[in-house]
């Protein structure tokens, strides 16, 4: 039964802050700040909720009661009006806006490297469906995106993008934008296939052959690319750690590279990397070539990042092998019968050559900045700098005839 009259509502609107019931959950609210408004209290899934219906000046008493009854009808049908409000709020959201929402509210808070999924999205998804509304994206779009990536020879990226799309649609479902996830119908078999660990290692003879080809075709494999590969195979560091390195990390006079924790994989551990004389020589040349840049490998083209692109060296290697994803007509294979390899395989090559030279496994693992064991990480704080210095020097001497 209704309790309020129009006259009472008008008096309440001019009175003290508070909430007055009209019965059956309908409330007239006079806030401490702002205009009076109507609100409805209700229970949904055993949870007490409250929904604003409108301001006093916009809704007369009879209209507020009508709005309240409409919502009660929804509740009887099992519909939560607050969920509908959320759906209305996000209705028309584009896929780019969906990614930005997930990036700001999840990826930035949960991931150590949120830039990685952002790069995957920007390079592989945004240009195809970013402008579409979320509800417009269907399974055909997903299939086309996966096919484009796999046809370009990037199976791992295809799997990563499939995971990203699944997570994006799950996020959309959480926001009540859609109830459909068209990416869920696809598996790794539809993308890049089941992945296995790479095992490619270059022998010393293959290092001689590969670097000889690098030098023979400088128009395809620039000097900067060449010096980067030389440093990678002698130091065994990760590609990103090297190509994103600023000059401030290097003490060339004392032949030490101070790699900070935040630039290691998963922020694992800062490490002082001893630089053999050959590496110092290459870095001094790069210092000249960088032309005053803050980075060892500055971006040579206009880019959002000040350092070399993550795919630059792999693309140059692929081109020598007759693989160019940007061209319909493939270039000639200039590498002969040499088995294809990637930049990261040089890190594995460094580790294997170190074993051939009879160095201890735990010292070699320290060179790679790997975690040997949990107990070792907790109790052993010795960095084996001198031992690692000997390893890098020995590997550089063994490879020097083939790198100069």
Least confident span in 99-108, 247-256, 320-329: 320-329
Task: Identify the pLDDT of residue 288.
Answer: 97
Q: Compute the average pLDDT of residues 215-231.
A: 96
- Reported confidence tier of residue 390, pLDDT bands at 50, 70, 90: very high
Place domain 6-79 in its CATH homologous superfamily: Integrase, DNA-binding domain (3.30.160.390)
pLDDT confidence of residue 56: 87
Long-range CB pairs of 125-129 (<8 Å, 24+ gap) are 125/95, 125/99, 125/161, 125/164, 125/165, 126/95, 126/96, 126/99, 129/95
Domain locations in the chain as residue ranges:
6-79, 95-190, 204-403
Does the pLDDT value for residue 1 go beyond 70?
Answer: no
Contacts (Cβ under 8 Å, ≥6 apart) of 28: 4, 9, 12, 13, 19, 20, 22, 36, 38, 39, 56, 64
Q: Does domain 204-403 have CATH number 1.10.443.10?
A: yes
Q: Output the CA–CA distances (angstroms, integers) from residue 137 to 95, 132, 133, 165, in the order listed.
A: 8, 7, 7, 11
Q: In this predicted model, which residue has the larger pLDDT, 193 or 212? A: 212
**What is the domain class of 95-190 according to CATH?**
mainly alpha
pLDDT of 119 higher than 70: yes
Q: What integer pLDDT is reported at residue 109 of this predicted model?
A: 83
């Amino acid at each position: 039964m209704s309790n309020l009259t129009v006259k009472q509502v008008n008096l309440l609107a001019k009175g003290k802050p508070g909430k007055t019931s009209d019965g059956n959950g309908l409330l007239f609210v006079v806030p401490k700040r702002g205009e009076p408004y109507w609100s409805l209290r209700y229970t949904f899934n055993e949870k007490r909720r409250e929904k604003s219906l409108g301001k006093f000046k916009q809704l007369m008493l009879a209209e507020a009661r009508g709005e309240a009854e409409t919502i009660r009808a929804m509740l009887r049908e099992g519909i939560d009006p607050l969920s509908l409000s959320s759906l209305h709020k996000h209705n028309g959201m584009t896929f780019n806006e969906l990614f930005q929402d997930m990036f700001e509210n999840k990826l930035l808070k949960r991931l150590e490297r949120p830039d990685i999924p952002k790069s995957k999205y920007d390079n592989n998804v945004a240009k195809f469906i970013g402008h579409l509304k979320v509800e417009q994206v269907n399974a055909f779009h997903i299939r086309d995106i996966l096919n484009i990536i796999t046809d370009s020879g990037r199976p791992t990226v295809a799997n990563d993008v499939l995971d990203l799309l699944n997570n994006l649609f799950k996020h959309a479902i959480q926001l009540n934008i859609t109830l459909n996830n068209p990416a869920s119908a696809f598996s790794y078999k539809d993308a890049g296939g089941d992945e296995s660990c790479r095992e490619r290692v270059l022998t010393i003879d293959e290092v001689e052959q590969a670097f000889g080809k690098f030098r023979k075709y400088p128009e395809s494999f620039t000097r900067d690319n060449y010096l980067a590969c030389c440093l990678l195979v002698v130091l065994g560091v990760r590609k990103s750690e090297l190509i994103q390195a600023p000059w401030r990390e290097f003490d060339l006079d004392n032949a030490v590279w101070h790699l900070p924790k935040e630039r290691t994989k998963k922020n694992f551990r800062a490490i002082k990397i001893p630089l053999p004389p050959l590496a110092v020589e290459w870095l001094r040349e790069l210092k000249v070539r960088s032309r005053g840049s803050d980075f060892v490998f500055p971006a040579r083209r206009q880019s959002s990042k000040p350092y070399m692109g993550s795919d630059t060296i792999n693309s140059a290697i692929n081109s020598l092998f007759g693989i160019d994803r940007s061209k319909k007509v493939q270039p000639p294979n200039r590498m002969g019968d040499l088995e294809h390899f990637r930049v990261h395989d040089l890190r594995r090559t460094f580790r294997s050559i170190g074993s051939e030279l009879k160095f201890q496994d735990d010292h070699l693992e320290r060179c790679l900045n790997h975690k040997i064991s949990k107990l070792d990480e907790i109790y052993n704080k010795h960095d084996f700098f001198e031992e690692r210095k000997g390893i890098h020097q020995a590997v550089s001497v063994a490879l020097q005839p083939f790198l100069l």
